[in-house]
Structure 1
Amino acid sequence: MHLIRSFVFAVLLALITVPYALFAILIFWLPPMTRHRLITSWVPIMMWVIKHVLGIRYRLIGAENMPAGPAVVLSKHQSAWETIALQQIFPPLCYVLKRELLRVPFFGWGLASIPGIAIDRSAGKDALSQVVEQGRARLKEGLWVVVFPEGTRVAPGTTGRYKPGGAILAKRAGVPVVPVAHNAGEFWRRNAFVKRPGEIVVSIGPVIEVKGVKADEINGRAEAWIEAEMRRLFPHHYDDQPAAGSRR
């Protein structure tokens, strides 16, 4: 049954995404925020498909922690699910993403048509400058910025190195950081065709203010909260893992 559901989802994803990508190309002449609003109407459609076809729903904790204005979201990254769902959970946002994703047929074309932060990861230190420069511009436009500090998707129960780019952006832009923990990888694993039904829990942590705090400390606070929350909510993934921070 999981295989059939996943196959139907893959077909619907293609049938819905291709027309949206073509639509995104046709409206290139509209203002960026208008394009963003029109193109991201794809999100609630796909979230409906994810819920009713794959049987994956989500429960939100800590919505009251969201600040009133734009912020930098530092989120756990386990699957493709959160790249869709966070757009429904938070106000209008954009992602820090690899520039090569913009060349992916249809999906990448849609990404290229909305305001975002596309970086060249091979640029080394210049990649951080790209994040800060483009990120500050997006925040001034009123968009939130989502950064996956571990840089890539990690399996449930594991932790990658938290890179400081998102914290540096928040510090230099003078906006707060919002940490996010979730268990999407439990049901939608990295590069897995077959998805499993279930309830994803998304937890939004208390705002981390940046005034008077160094970027490294901001990043460390975000990591500490996210990893502690992951262990609190999903202890079954960490039975054989050391507590957060013990590896430092």
Structure 2
Amino acid sequence: MSRVEPDRGAPRGSLVRGILFRAGLVVTVVIWATLSIPSFPLPLRWRYWWITRWCHIVSFMLRTIGGIRLQVRGLENLPNEPGVMLAKHQSAWETLNLLPFFYPQSWVLKRELLKIPVFGWGLARLDPIAIDRSAGREALRQVIRQGKKRLAQGHWVVIFPEGTRVDPGQRGRYQQGGALLACQAGVDVTPVAHNAGEHWPRRGARLIPGTITLEIGPAIPTTDRTPAAVNRDVEAWIESTMERLTDPRYRDC
């Protein structure tokens, strides 16, 4: 399968798919968040299971409305115990669709997201690591402090080291916060690469039908290593894998 360029030559139907999909997102998140309110007083594991069923609804809509399928490689690399997962950040896709492979998980996210009516209420009940990104070093201390707590609870901590979404073929600066957390907590890092941005672009309303390839890398150890060294290994693996994922010769290998 050849590479699909989101911004050039996309079929007209992809815009219709995108509009229908986003309408479905709005309708289902309002319905599911409302249905989830009675679960808020329940223990975390119960309310977590119920609230995150919405992610499965999103996945279903992507397949049926968006014509977007998923191919997964590297499942044999999944560790037996939760740790820190560092992933490429291209799209909204990875914030919702990594859950089946890294369950349960706590995202590092902007505190402002918790203020969104309805959606933010449910998100807050999943115990994310909500930080004030303008707080500088204090934001990093929040990640370390809350991240250790979530790891002790048996949650994966999901961090996008580039900090913000980047277009396919682009690379952001890999920040060391995730590697620092892993080193201080004494857990491995699992790197993740994917090409979701080619099918669910970060800009515009289009969805581009095709196959998202998700690749889970071998665990990167942190014992007796510096965060900088761990971060370099993470960036090297993710970016080299991204080159392969976007090369048409390797799409179906």
TM-score by length of 2: 0.90
User: For residues 36-78 of structure 1, what are the alpha-carbon distances to aligned partners after superposition, in whole Å with 9 as ceiling and x for unaligned?
Assistant: 1110011111101111110111100101001000111100000
Q: How far apart, in 1, do the equivalents of 2:45 and 2:74 lie?
A: 27
Task: Report the equivalent of 1:7.
Answer: 19
Mapped pair 1:75 → 2:97: no
State the match for 1:167 in structure 2: 179
1:85 aligns with 2:72: no
Contact 1:24/1:113, CA 8 A, preserved across alignment: no
Q: In the alignment, what sits opposite 2:224? A: 212
Aligned to 1:229: 241
Instruction: Classify the secondary structure of the residue corresponding to 1:206.
Output: coil
**Aligned twin of 1:25:** 37
Q: Secondary structure at 1:58's aligned position in 2?
A: strand
TM-score using structure 1 length = 0.92
Q: Tell me how far 1:128 sits from its aligned partner.
A: 0.5
What's the secondary structure of 1:179's corresponding residue?
strand
Amino acid at match of 2:113: L
1:186 maps to 198
Matched, 1:130 2:142: yes
| Alignment-derived partner of residue 64 in structure 2 | 52
State the identity %.
Answer: 50
Q: SS at the partner of 1:159?
A: coil
Q: How many residues align?
A: 236
Q: Which secondary structure does the structure 2 equivalent of 1:87 belong to? A: coil
Structure 2 unpaired stretches of 5+:
1-12, 249-253
Quote the offset at 1:88 in angstroms.
2.2
Listed as ranges, the matches of 1:124-163 within 5 Å are 124-163=136-175
* Alignment partner of 1:110 is 2:114: no
Contact 2:39 2:50 in 1 (8 A): no
Deviations 1:124-156 (A, max 9, x none): 000000001111111111110110000000000
SS at match of 1:208: coil
Alpha carbons 1:98, 1:121 under 8 Å: kept: yes
Contact 1:70 1:142 (8 Å CA) reproduced? yes
SS of the residue aligned with 2:164?
A: coil
Q: Equivalents in 1 of 2:123, 2:204: separation in Å?
A: 22
Looking at structure 2, the residues matched to 19 and 233 of structure 1 have their Cα atoms a distance apart, in angstroms, of 36
Structure 1: 5+ residue runs without aligned partners?
237-248
- 1:4 aligned partner, one-letter code: V
Contact kept, 8 Å, 2:182 with 2:189, in 1: the verdict is yes
Structure 2 match to 1:64: 76
Q: Secondary structure at the match of 1:89?
A: coil
Residue pair 1:72, 1:147 contacting (<8 A) in 2 also: yes
Q: How far apart, CA to CA, are the structure 2 residues paired with 1:28 and 1:91?
A: 19
